[in-house]
Amino acid sequence: MAQMLMYESLREAIQEEMERDPRVFVMGEDVGHYGGSYKVTKNLWKRYGELRLLDTPIAENSFTGLAIGAAMTGLRPIVEGMNMGFLLLAFNQIANNAGMLHYTSGGNFSTPIVIRGPGGVGRQLGAEHSQRLESYFQAVPGLQMIACSTPYNAKGLFKAAIRTENPVILFEHVLLYNLRQEVPEAPYILSLEKAELVRTGTDITILTYSRMRHHVLQATRTLVNEGYDPEIIDLISLKPVDMGTIAASIMKTHKVLIVEECMRTGGIGSTLRASIMEYLFDELDAPIGCLSSQDVPTPYSGILEEMTVVQPEQIVQAVKKVLRSSIA
């Protein structure tokens, strides 16, 4: 095991896959000589050259379309959005091309592409740099979406995403790049469709992902000290959702709280609530709780920004509220 920051584990995943498969290459703004906006590709151009670390113009729709075409010919491109919000400029290419080409071509083409980059609400990055694109892309047919939350799962998920034949969007949170954890030195991959049981418990199931995993763990320390026993699941796979793991937990606790950084309207939490109500309604002993970001553009002001995002103390109060409303 080696201590590693999350951006380092992502870089190691790229290097291992580029070494293993000559079809893998990276393209995006400043991914080559500069090493990426958060240094995920630092120094890789020295090892693999400028044809496998392609610095592109500031034209997300163009280079994303180029990457999709390359994937159709058998290459395995990794597209970095300098900020995930910029990839909205390539929404047409991602939705109408990457997500649909395998189906609209009758299976003649595949688009094994990974689209990744920093996203989520940072610290005073402003509205355009604090996007949560999972709400935009979850309705697009043909796309897989995963969200890493630790150096360990970041590396294993990234490697698996590069190897799959499906187009994958990998969400990395801008505030988790310097998170440190022990990571196995031997190569490994993780399932793209499996949630992680972070903590077992009996009182309530808390469903979360990305940065909110760490807010939930912080809140859990307070809850445990007060005698509560929550079970925590990191969704990891946002599309498709691992309903098997979720169902097994809810059938044990019979109460649910969803904690997300996504917007409340049309977010991941909305989809989860609908699925739980459809398939697990009879297992519930209380209304489903859901904590989401406010439906407003993220303010630049640090104080206002904090008010728009779920905080650990809100999670503590929400858990208590769900448990108080239990009919059991």
Beta strands 2-5 and 180-183: pairing type? antiparallel
The residue behind tokens 């995920």 is 40
Q: Of residues 8, 12, 102, 129, which has the active-site annotation?
A: 129
Q: Of residues 60, 196, 260, 305, which has the active-site annotation?
A: 60
Active site residue 129: yes
Q: CA torsion 279→284→289→292, rounded to 10°?
A: -20
CA atoms within 13 A on the CB side of 284: 17
Q: Exposure of 63 by Cβ count < 10 A (0-12 exposed, 13-18 middle, 19+ buried)?
A: buried
Of 41, 56, 36, 33, the closest CA to residue 8 belongs to 41
* CA–CA dist 274, 272 (Å, integer): 5
Using alpha carbons only, give the angle 196, 167, 186 rounded to the nearest 5 degrees.
50
- 169 Cα distance to chain centroid: 8
Contact 165, 108 (CB under 8 A): no
Q: Is residue 130 classed as helix, strand or coil in its secondary structure? A: coil
* CA–CA dist 249, 213 (Å, integer): 17
Active site residue 60: yes
* CA–CA dist 221, 147 (Å, integer): 23
Residues with a known catalytic role: 60, 129
